[in-house]
Amino acid sequence: MKNRNQYTIWGVGALIGLLLIGWLGAYLYASGDNLYAGIKLLDRVAFEVSRNYVEEVNPKDLVYAGIRGMLKILDPHTQFFEQKQYKELMIGTHGKYSGVGMVIGLREKVLTVISPFEGGPAYKAGIQAGDMVIKIEEEPTKGITTQEAATKLRGPKGTKVSLTVKREGVDEPLEFSLIRDIITIKSVPYAGIVANGVGYVRLSRFSENAEEEIREALKRVGKEAQKGLILDLRNNPGGLLSQAVDVSDLFLPKGKLVVYTKGRLKGQNRRFYSKFPPLFGDKPLIILVNRGSASASEIISGAVQDWDRGLILGTRTFGKGSVQTVLKPGRGTPFEGTALKITTAKWYIPSGRCIQKEERAEEDTTQEEQKEVFKTQGGRTVYGGGGVTPDVIFELPKLNRLELELSRKGVFFDFAIDYTAKHKHLKRGFKVTDQMMVEFKEFLREKDFYYTSKAERQLEDLEKSLKEIEYNSHTEKIIGELRSKVLAAKEKEFDNSLDYIKMGIKREIVSKLWGEEAVYEEFVIRSDKQVQRAVEILETPGEYEKFLGL
């Protein structure tokens, strides 16, 4: 099988050569380019494989496998799509589909979650931006393309798919079992007033209707947002470049450079400017970002930062600063409907920064030495070299092991389903009572919920080491005493995480009974620490201006 795969890769390139010769051959021959000679070689190899290989080979399989082999030496954003995969790609800009609801990409050749869609199965299970998906349905993802992974993750509503992920800061891989659901793409899931005179708009992605949706949202909240607006781009994976420019147009003065692109060909060098007077251009603006903010989100954040139009608050963004063009090389052939998404340029924000994060840094230089220094219009120092660094760094606390396991295993969601089925008269504004906590603990026992604390793992390692050296009754007694103390500490972890647990229970019940908008009103507006920090800056006289250096 290994030899067959090797022949396949070579044979494919040859068949590709046959497809390309018609329109490319004359040019390459005239220019003396070595690629033409290579295509002739591939043509010959394909012929020999087709005629002599021990088993009959499907030409389409050869072509598709070979193209993907060819593209593996390029960047992870350059991808080939079969007809079905190309249709799925188009879902990213409009429509709906059935799947787990998350954006994935390759980071240093590892399948990585860029962001889960709010309210989707992945989001509810606790999958986070930055999680590395190492298995899908027990199959390792090493060498997989994002489109191959997307195909595996999508499927009929109600069906299950298992994932194994590795998370930074967590020692062991995490197992998830997700139930696919209908994922509806909505750019602005919520807009409202979070405090007196402070507006809030959540932009979750850049679909083809993003500018239209956010314009309507600004019309609703803009007049009341006299103290300023919070634009939430956290976990926004990006989307259409045109929509990024159009949305920027709502905040930047007319005629300002938003982004420009540079590539090998002259036609790939373009500059995009704001075209109209801004709809929200004369009041303070704070944009929330995190590791899951990518692509178009970084264009807006970077342009706003470079023009000193507003503050960026949160954590460093993802670092996706390349432009992809979709070509149709199979048009007019038996491969009609296929597509090639190829990186043709990099984009740069007004200060000259390229947000693209390099896959590998030089080993003999420090992280600070690698950063290029740029200046905003007002003279503030900003850095290139990967992502947008916020003006106000504000990280959320990490979950402990208990909190992680409760979220990962979907316990809050399952309990909400069970509890609301038994208690049908809950009203908005309810509190999680002591009696609810008693029922929650009983629910955990019924579900055999169990997790291993960090201290338990360390004790297990210690016990194994002692057994290899010497293990007698005295040692066993000491281990037993330690085990009792570890279990007692584990019991206290529940009490220490009580606020988190109560919030998780309430959030899922609110979502179940009153929907996503109610979740924003009950939790994001009232409890989100990054939102509250932004509100604090906008409500404190001189605080916003201080960060902008005004």
Residues with a catalytic annotation lie at 295, 306, 320
Helix, strand, coil distribution of the chain in percent, nearest 5: 45, 20, 35
Task: Give the three-class secondary structure for 399.
Answer: coil
Residue 103's contacts (CB-CB under 8 Å, 6 or more residues apart) are: 113, 114, 115, 116, 117, 237
Q: How many CB atoms lie within 10 A of CB 129?
A: 21
Tell me the Cα Rg of the chain: 27
> Please, which residues bridge with residue 383 across strands?
373
Directed axis angle between helix 83-91 and helix 146-153, to 10°? 80
CB 232 within 8 Å of CB 285: no
Q: Tokens 């800061």 identify what position? A: 169
Task: Give the three-class secondary structure for 191.
Answer: strand
Q: Measure the CA–CA gap between 365 and 218, rounded to whole angstroms.
A: 45
The CA-CA-CA angle for residues 496, 502, 507, to 5°, reads 140
Residue 512's contacts (CB-CB under 8 Å, 6 or more residues apart) are: 416, 417, 420
> Please, which residues bridge with residue 164 across strands?
135, 175
Pinpoint the alpha helices (H) of 324-433. Answer: 367-370, 401-408, 411-422
Here the tokens at position 407 are: 């979220």
Q: Measure the CA–CA gap between 140 and 405, rounded to whole angstroms.
A: 23
Q: Measure the CA–CA gap between 532 and 233, rounded to whole angstroms.
A: 15
